Amino acid sequence: MKNIILKYSYLFAITTIFYACNPDTYAPVVDVKMPAGEKALVPNMYLQTGIPISMYVGQTQAVLAINKNFKLDNATIELFEDGNLINGWVKGNIIDSPIYYIPNIKPKPGSVYTTKVSSIGFLTAEATDTMPSKLNFTVTKTSNLKYFQATDPFNGSLGFKDTLQEIKITWQDNGNASDFYRIVVMDNDSNGEYIYSAPWKQFTFKREIHSIDAIFQDSGDPIGAIGSGSSADVVRPNEKYFTDITFNGKQKEVSLYLPIGREENWQSQDLGFEKAYISLQHLSRAAYLHVTSVMQYNPNTGLFAQPTLVYSNYKNGFGILGCQSTNMQSVQVR
């Protein structure tokens, strides 16, 4: 019994020594005081052709602040189109967020827009951006069909079958400047003017779009081919913003394969796209840099992760004044 007590006493002593040798064991608790951040306005406004003008105005927030109520409902906004002041701002609320909007004015391609936003206790935030041109493009249904059959990656068994119809989107790039684009694919359009561009709209379980175009593939060399049963060529066009670096000044043609008829493993059947609505968005450089930087932000990376620098083109403030022109075409695919 004595030997057992001595044995455990020895183990306890060794454990205590190792524990005490850890420099963090008895380290004092340090109260880190974060320096006060710059107090500034954070206006956010994306101008789009055909869409009424609206702006959200917030303010900067202290690091690790508990109070997330940083919205401002007493801002004064001046908007200039080609140097001319635009009046008619109205204040409203969307889900308790103050939105300032001008209901009867829609931005014009080629115009230069400047905003000056002010509020008591803040420096006036100012930004300028130019609305890109509205692009003409064509959407063509080809005679090419692919027959896709999914393969279960776990056991190799065959899954659903699908018929894919090829469409081609073609436009001429402007060779005098760097251009920034996004293609939006939908299976409906609400009123022919307003474009609903929720990024997951076309990518439900029964809306997989296929393409091997390099603008949708980070490597430019996707694994497998369309119809092979691999998911490597499944793309989400709405989520991809791209530049003209590979086709600057040239005609660009993008090939997409849309599902038009699926056989399910169960009783239901989905016929995929009947008519496709394709929007080609032409973005300003500021809009492109802002939206791509926001997409890189991941709130789940932890407190000490590498910070994401969100692009802003405001002087004496943060936020974005971005411009994008949108044109839409439709094509009957089934």
Task: Assess whether pLDDT exceeds 90 at residue 83.
Answer: yes
Which amino acid is it at 7? K
Q: Is 6 left (phi over 0), alpha (psi -120 to 50) or beta?
A: alpha
* Whole-number Å distance between alpha carbons of 300 and 237: 25
CA 203 to chain centroid: 15
Query: Residue 243 corresponds to which tokens in the numbers above?
Result: 């530049």
CA 105 to chain centroid: 26
- Confidence band (pLDDT; 50, 70, 90) for 39? confident
| pTM score of the predicted model | 0.77
* Whole-number Å distance between alpha carbons of 227 and 164: 8
- Confidence band (pLDDT; 50, 70, 90) for 74? confident
Query: Residue 21, SS3?
Result: helix
Query: Residue 295, SS3?
Result: helix
pLDDT at site 148 = 76
Query: Between residues 225 and 314, which one has the greater pLDDT?
Result: 314
Enter the DSSP assignment of 135: P
What average pLDDT does this structure show over 192-221?
57
Return the exposure string of 4-37: e unless at least 16 CB atoms fall within 10 Å of the residue's CB, then b.
Answer: eeeeeeeeeeeeeeeeeeeeeeeeeeeeeeeeee
Contact 248, 177 (CB under 8 A): no
pLDDT at site 266 = 42
List beta partners, residue 161.
Answer: 149, 263
Query: Residue 64, SS3?
Result: coil
- Kindly report the average pLDDT of the chain as a whole number: 77
Contact 164, 276 (CB under 8 A): no
Contact 215, 222 (CB under 8 A): no
pLDDT tens per residue across span 207-222: 678 888 988 876 545 5
* Whole-number Å distance between alpha carbons of 136 and 307: 39
Contact 171, 135 (CB under 8 A): yes
Give the CA radius of gyration of the chain: 27
Expressed in angstroms, the distance from the first to the final Cα of the chain is 87
Query: Residue 276 corresponds to which tokens in the numbers above?
Result: 């496709």
Query: Residue 215, SS3?
Result: helix
* Whole-number Å distance between alpha carbons of 201 and 153: 25
> Cα-flanking dihedrals φ and ψ of residue 10, to 5°?
-65, -45
pLDDT at site 189 = 63
List beta partners, residue 296.
Answer: none
Task: Assess whether pLDDT exceeds 70 at residue 257.
Answer: yes
pLDDT tens per residue across span 279-323: 999 999 999 999 999 888 655 555 555 666 889 999 999 999 999
Contact 161, 264 (CB under 8 A): no
